[in-house]
Amino acid sequence: MSGARRRALRTVSSLGFWVFMTLLTLIPIWWMFVVSMRSRVELFSRPNLAISRLFLENYSNVLTDSTFQRYMTNSVVVSSCNAALVMALALLATYALSRYKLVGRDNIFFWLITNRMAPPAAFLLPLFIMFTRSFRIGNWTLFDTQLGLILLYCVFNLPFAIWLLKGVVDGIPIELDDAAMIDGAGLGGVLRHVVIPLAAPGLAVTGILSWVFAWNEYLFAANLTSVEARTITTGLAEFVTVTGTNWGELAAMSMITLIPSAIIVIVAQRYIVMGLTFGAVKE
């Protein structure tokens, strides 16, 4: 009897705790939503967390804007291609680092990781020169192309992905590889039938987080694109103007950009936890 009551009490207290946490998490997002539902003249009244009326103009303005649609498409293409590329390259790289006796393996691994540490602002100028001058074929340059961003985002996504997958691939017993090889599988076969199935959760989480990081990137996108390949985050910055930041539309746009990543996370929630172990011991 008392055990059942204690259990019930525990459930209630954890429920209460989580409701509180959820409120903490959601209040800023809710506030953004409230702002997105207000006209400009209503914004500066006394702060009020309630939505007084359905005001959809901010959303309709953003959604019907053709530049916004282009930015959104660019963001989707860039993040998705980058995530796919990063998954593929990181898998090959971690497999190499895990299974082959490469000279200076640990140092290579560490150097790969250091690529994420560079302060991005300092690299804008060399990257700009590279994008506009070094990679030039006739009139074509990497500047303002989706390809440019897809490749560039590898700089901060690959280190993360390799770090994440290294533990996962290390955790797959090498005997399984050997067994597959004894059965006559080539490298492709081993990857396809042994490594990929076992590393699937890790790969999934790599892909998801790479996608999110790419989706969220601002500084590079702002400086290395102009019109064609601008992404949605640069669109957000465009609302900050001399004659009044358009907070309502900025909030509406933020809400819209939240949706795709939220869907992905909801769908892939299970894999994220399974994949994020960084090779923690599994028995």
Q: Which of residues 224-283 bind other proteins (CB under 8 A)?
A: 226-227, 230, 232-234, 236-245, 247, 250-251, 254, 257-258, 261-262, 264-266, 269, 272-283
- The footprint of other proteins on residues 43-82 (CB under 8 A) is 43-49
Residue 82 token pair: 């980058």
Query: Cβ 88 to other proteins, closest distance in Å?
Result: 8
3-class DSSP state for residue 207?
Answer: helix
In sequence order, the 6+-apart residues with CB closer than 8 A to the CB of 91 are 165, 169, 191, 195, 196, 199, 203
**Site for other proteins (CB under 8 A): which residue of 56, 96, 147, 196?**
96
- Tell the smallest beta-carbon distance from residue 272 to other proteins (Å): 6
106 lies in the site for other proteins, by CB under 8 A: yes
Per CB under 8 A, does 151 bind other proteins?
yes
Give the one residue of 76, 84, 108, 204 binding other proteins; rule: CB under 8 A.
108
Is 4 one of the binding residues for other proteins (CB under 8 A)?
A: no
End-to-end CA distance of the chain: 37
Binding other proteins (rule: CB under 8 A), the pick from 51, 60, 126, 197 is: 126
Q: Contact 231/221 with Cβ under 8 angstroms? A: yes
Q: How far is the CB of 2 from other proteins (least distance, A)?
A: 19
Q: Distance (Å, rounded) from C-alpha 53 to C-alpha 34? A: 10
Q: Following DSSP, what letter does each residue of 234-261 receive, concatenated?
A: HHHHTT--TT---HHHHHHHHHHHHHHH
**Contact with other proteins (CB under 8 A): which of 125, 173, 196, 197?**
125
DSSP three-state, residue 264: helix
206 interacts with other proteins by CB under 8 A: no
Nearer to other proteins, 62 or 251 (CB): 251
Beta bridge partners of 140: 137
With beta carbons less than 8 A apart as the criterion, state whether 162 and 171 touch. Answer: no
Nearest to 70 by CA among 251, 235, 237, 253: 235
Question: Is the Cβ–Cβ distance between 251 and 36 less than 8 Å?
Answer: yes
Which residue among 21, 51, 56, 147 contacts other proteins (CB under 8 A)? 21
Residue 20 makes contact with other proteins by CB under 8 A: no
d(CA 16, CA 266): 23
* Contacts to other proteins from residues 154-173, by CB under 8 A: 154-155, 158, 160, 162-163, 167
Of 63, 77, 124, 176, the one binding other proteins by CB under 8 A: 124
Tell me which of 35, 78, 195, 252 binds other proteins, using CB under 8 A: 35
The CA angle 215-108-172, to the nearest 5 degrees, is 75
Closest CB to other proteins among residues 1, 99: 99
